[in-house]
Amino acid sequence: MAGSRRPRWRQDFGACLVRDYTCQRPHRSAVVFYLWNGEPGYCWLFPTGQGYRLGAGFLGSAAKSTRRHLDSMEQFCQASGLLPGERRLHRISGALAPVRLPATIAAQRVLLVGDAAGLLDPLSGEGIYNAMRSGQAAGLVLGQGLDRPARRYLRAIRPLLREVGPPGASHPGLMVAALKAYFGLVPGLDRLGLGGLARRPFVNRLFRRGSLPPGSHYRRLH
């Protein structure tokens, strides 16, 4: 495809690693730590019904140490009582995650969707929604005929492209600096009674879907 000769490099990908545990007494709280170990990425722990899912996702050179970050998160969760000592590891999964848009997403009759199109949110690592939406858009465009499908497809996925940012925008160093500044500001704004205002854009970006299941813990902040 035109303009797509540049190969994808290591820094175009983050890494994601997940460990699933079963245990007797799962509790219901979920925790997320941004910039774990001061690196661009985050670690999470949430209950799955049978136990817990512990995960880590990191960008840039920190992606090489994803396993080490997950180990330290696991130690922290166990030491602080978030993860029971008696648990059984029953699954490990992980993969690279594209965090930059490729130079060309659609040309002539080739339309890239989902991860192949780089439609993964570099801040949250969320890619399922965009994969489904872009796949749906590609299907609709092709179903309407083969007249300039690339142009019509790019128009259809413009809102998704806006969300994940322009090509090359997700520089890990810049993301760390922006998040550190943000997290540094929030406690001060809390003291001024403006914490809600400061959290709103961040939280709503992560939990922005109108299609959350009934009873979901997640809510838009107004």
Which residues here bind ligand FAD, judged by CB under 6 A? 16, 18, 93-95, 97, 114-116, 120, 125-129, 131
The owner of tokens 């809510």 is: 219
Q: Nearer Cβ to ligand FAD, position 96 or 107?
A: 96
Output the smallest distance, CB 187 to ligand FAD, in A: 28
Closest to ligand FAD by CB, 75 or 93: 93
CB of 132 to ligand FAD, least distance (A): 8
Q: Which residue is nearest to ligand FAD (CB)?
A: 127
* Cα-based torsion angle of the residue sequence 60, 63, 68, 69 in order, rounded to the nearest 10 degrees: 70
> Cα–Cα distance between 60 and 63 in angstroms, integer?
6
Q: Which among 216, 219, 199, 215 is positioned nearest to 207, based on CA atoms? A: 219
Residue 82 CB, nearest distance to ligand FAD (Å)? 19
- 191/217 with CB nearer ligand FAD: 217
- Tell me whether residue 24 or residue 93 sits nearer to ligand FAD (CB atom): 93
Q: How far apart are the C-alpha atoms of 93 and 30, rounded to whole Å?
A: 19
Which of 163/195 has CB closer to ligand FAD?
Answer: 163
C-beta of residue 89 within 8 angstroms of C-beta of residue 19? yes
Measured CA angle at 75 (ends 127, 176), to 5 deg:
45
**Nearest approach, Cβ of 134 to ligand FAD (angstroms)?**
8
Least Å from the CB of residue 131 to ligand FAD: 3
Q: Is 187 helix (H, G, I), strand (E, B) or coil?
A: helix
